Amino acid sequence: MTRLPVLALAAGLTLAATGAFAQKSARDIPVETFFKRAEYTQMSLSPGGGRLAALAPLAGRNNLVVIDVATRARNIITSFEEFDVVGFFWVNDDRLCLRVADGQEVTGRFRYRGFYCIDHDGKDIRDFNRMNGKIVFIDPVYLPEDNSVEFIASINLRTRYSEDLYRFNSITGRTTHLTFDSPGEVGRWVLDRKQVPRLAVTSPQFDRRSDPDSFQKNVVWYRETAAAPWEKLWEYESLSGQPMGEMTTPIAFDYDNRTLYVASNRGGRDKMALFKYDTKTREFGELVFGHKMIDVRGGLIFSAAEKKLLGVSYNAEMPSTYWFDPAMDKLQRQIDATFPKTVNAIGIPRNGGKSALVYTYSDRDPGMYHLMDRAKPSIEPIAKTREWLDPSLMAERRFITYKARDGLEIPAWLTIPAGSSGRNLPLIVNVHGGPQSRGYSGVSWGRWPEAQFFASRGYAVLEPEPRHSTGFGAKHFRSGLRKWGQSMQDDINDGALHLVKEGIVDRSRMCIHGGSYGGYASAMGAVRDPDLWRCASPFVAVTDLILLLTAAESDLPAEYLRTDARKMIGDPDKDRAMLEKNSPARDVSKVKAPILLAMGSDDRRVPIVHGNRFNDALVAAGKKVEYVVYPGEGHGFNKDANVIDFYTRLEKFFAENLK
């Protein structure tokens, strides 16, 4: 086998200041340093490759910065003080659109507050949050391959029950409606390569279902041309987007405008995988890509310049890319040889060119961006994301699986403190929100790098994906239906006990932590299993399942609570005894562990009444509880001062209880 050459490393000017690391051990790193906002995130090349854009901190918020590739000149082009820029995209080489939010929830959901478009130099900013007097959500589905200022977007402009496609002008805001002829209440459209809407998925909203006790029925529609009538291809049932039987969803057309890529669990598969589908013959073709551990439902990487599918990105034990294109596969292997200890993600300009953006990162390394000249080839560093954290001091992160007591295999990530023996350690089990989400990956930096922070203080950290988490197949999701506080809780306990059995963890020093559903599991652990946990730290936590399913002040739609939520959690009428038994705030008599409870005053997803009721019950029963409410915060803490205060409290709380 021919050995690929290692790429030439250019000297390159880094935009972030370089400076010696001051700390000698991870424990020396202050809380405020760990939770300092990343210097750069979401960096991407303009369509022609001449500019870079990224999110960067300014005045306690993330704003948008543009960097000239030739001169390395940096210009922060937004200055929001009340909102964070949370996402953006290049319309063309000179103009970008961006979305702002006033916070990120622990589940990853943003509270969106506006949509703007702006020139690369910060001029001509336009606010498009309202159209025709309505607050709308503008979601791009096609970006131009020339220098047009227009793109095609999905917008719920006509009715809240259905998305329509519009050609949208990013300067004037003028729209041209493209989908007058619609097959129903469309939740998603698929364009062909000539930008003709050819596929539509109709998904009736919760309050439009004929039978609230049924699963959501989705229908996939197809037409041969813009003038042809819509034809039904197939239908499938889902629950919160998860398959309740055989499920096939369209993703994208290939460049022949006949071959459709779909995600499907057809043929009795448990995991979703990518297939080809022939729209002429109406036949399924070859398996394109699948994975034994995870659902693969997208991630296709196309080249508009070369007009072909290049590869697919996916996130199993670690984030990865599988390249179908031989040239990109060769390039990936060259980069991996140059940076053998990191995950190396390649971004190429939308409209071609010889440049590429390479992002190198790992479980220990927060990441660095590099600019590559594919013609030479050479690569140079551009910027570190968190230059103040020394990768050599960070902790190892392992992917593990363990058996739950009923035999279900549970995936999880385990972080072991750097420099430790890896034996008989104190443990923090960190439970993700949702629970119908995937919470963790082999790389976990993001807004709140909790695992590395906890590990820096000497704790092993277990981050499990208990049943009812998504992304690990239909069985994993379905086995958690109506199992809050029951087998879902067993999965968490069984992970901790597995580490005890392996000799990694000291059974007498284990705490449970989490937000949202993870906050529920943390509170429930203290109530249900008082002899297992030394402490519990629930935040923005559900504490009463009856209240969750019936509260008028929650932002969860009433019809969702009447339909899907009852299938996943329980029916307040039919399952009342079960829901009461598994509501932490309704019986705290067995609690032994100290509890640190934190809530946001403005939380609409889990209103503060959940925290108040749990705290009141604990105080009345004489239990040890510390209760903190952060003013102005919602379903997750985002203001820098509050984030630092919260993790400072956690640091002290765990130190007192996991000595």
Beta strands in 336-395 (DSSP E): 343-347, 355-361, 368-373, 378-384
Question: For 468-479, what is the mean pLDDT?
Answer: 97
CA angle, 435 then 488 then 315, to 5°: 50
The pLDDT of residue 209: 61
Of residues 94 and 659, the one with the higher pLDDT is 94
Q: What phi and psi, each to the nearest 5 degrees, are found at residue 618? A: -65, -45
Confidence of residue 517 (pLDDT cuts 50, 70, 90): very high
Q: What is the 3-state secondary structure (H, E, C) of 125-164?
A: CEECCEECCEECCCEEEECCCCCCCEEEEEEEEEECCEEE
| Segment 308-313 mean pLDDT | 96
Long-range contacts, 262-270 (Cβ 8 Å, 24+) = 263/295, 263/296, 263/297, 263/298, 265/474, 270/473, 270/474, 270/475
pLDDT digits (tens, 9 = 90+) for 28-40: 999 999 999 999 9
What are the contacts of 160-163 at 24+ separation with CB within 8 A?
160/205, 161/185, 161/204, 161/205, 161/208, 162/186, 162/187, 163/139, 163/187, 163/188, 163/189
Above 70 in pLDDT, residue 73?
Answer: yes
What tokens appear for 185 in the block?
């209440």
Average pLDDT rounded to a whole number, residues 542-570: 90
Quickly name the fold that domain 395-657 has: Rossmann fold (3.40.50)
pTM of the model: 0.93
d(CA 331, CA 328): 5
Q: Return the structure tokens found at 427.
A: 């443990």
pLDDT of 129 > 90? The answer is no
Cβ atoms of 492 and 401 closer than 8 Å: no
On the question of a cis peptide bond just before residue 426, with omega within 30 degrees of 0, the verdict is no
Strand bridging mode 74-76 / 595-600: unpaired
What pLDDT sits at residue 555? 84
Q: What is the pLDDT of residue 8?
A: 58
DSSP structural state of residue 362: -
Alpha helices in 200-325 (DSSP H): none
* pLDDT number for residue 207: 54
At residue 162, the pLDDT reads: 85
**Residue 571's Cα: distance from chain center in Å?**
29
Identify the pLDDT of residue 464. 98
> How confident is residue 6, by pLDDT bands cut at 50, 70 and 90?
low
Lowest mean pLDDT across 9-23, 111-125, 273-287, 503-517: 9-23
Helix or strand run (H / E) with residue 250? strand 248-253
DSSP state of 481: T
pLDDT at 562: 87
pLDDT tens column, 40-71: 999 999 999 999 999 999 988 999 999 999 99
Query: pLDDT tier at 7 (50, 70, 90 boundaries)?
Result: low
Q: pLDDT digit string (tens) for 203-232?
A: 876 555 656 678 889 999 999 999 999 999
* pLDDT range class, residue 319, cuts 50, 70, 90: very high
Residue-wise pLDDT tens digits, 348-405? 998 877 899 999 999 999 999 999 998 888 999 999 999 999 999 999 999 999 999 9
| Residue 59 confidence (pLDDT) | 87
Judging by beta carbons within 10 Å of its beta carbon (0-12, 13-18, 19+), is residue 69 exposed, middle or buried? middle
Report pLDDT for 106.
76
CB 429 within 8 A of CB 511: yes
Please report which confidence band the pLDDT of residue 1 belongs to, taking 50, 70 and 90 as the band edges: very low
Nearest to 343 by CA among 320, 325, 366: 320
pLDDT surpasses 60 at 15: no
Say how far apart CA 126 and CA 149 lie, in whole Å.
13
Q: Is the pLDDT of residue 4 over 50?
A: no
What is the DSSP code string of 8-37?
EE-----SSPP-----SSGGGS-HHHHTSP
Q: What mean pLDDT value characterizes the chain?
A: 92
pLDDT of residue 13: 34
SS3 for 282?
Answer: coil
* Burial class of residue 81 (count of CB atoms within 10 Å of its CB; 0-12, 13-18, 19+): exposed
- Identify the pLDDT of residue 61: 92
Farthest-apart Cα atoms in the chain, separation: 72
Mean pLDDT of all residues in 564-585: 96
- Which residue, 443, 434, 419, is CA-closest to 466? 434
For the domain covering 26-138, report its CATH number: 2.120.10.30
ω before 377 within 30° of 0 (cis)? yes
588-612 confidence digits (pLDDT tens): 999 999 999 999 999 999 999 999 9
Residue pair 244/215 in contact (Cβ under 8 Å)? The answer is yes
Q: Could you report the per-residue pLDDT of 419-473, keeping only the tens digit for each?
A: 999 999 999 999 999 999 999 999 988 888 999 999 999 999 999 999 999 999 9
CA 235, CA 210: separation in Å to the nearest integer? 16
Distance of CA 583 to the CA centre of its chain: 27
Going from N- to C-terminal start, the domains of the chain cover: 26-138, 395-657
**Residue with structure tokens 């001449």?**
50
| 531 pLDDT more than 90 | yes
Is the model's pLDDT at 133 over the cut of 80? no
600 near 635, Cβ under 8 Å?
A: yes
Q: What is the pLDDT of residues 535-544, one digit of tens each?
A: 999 999 999 9
What pLDDT, in 10s, does the model give residues 269-295?
Answer: 999 999 999 999 999 999 999 999 999
Per DSSP, the three-state class of 548 is helix
Per the CB < 8 A criterion, the answer to whether 31 and 401 are in contact is no
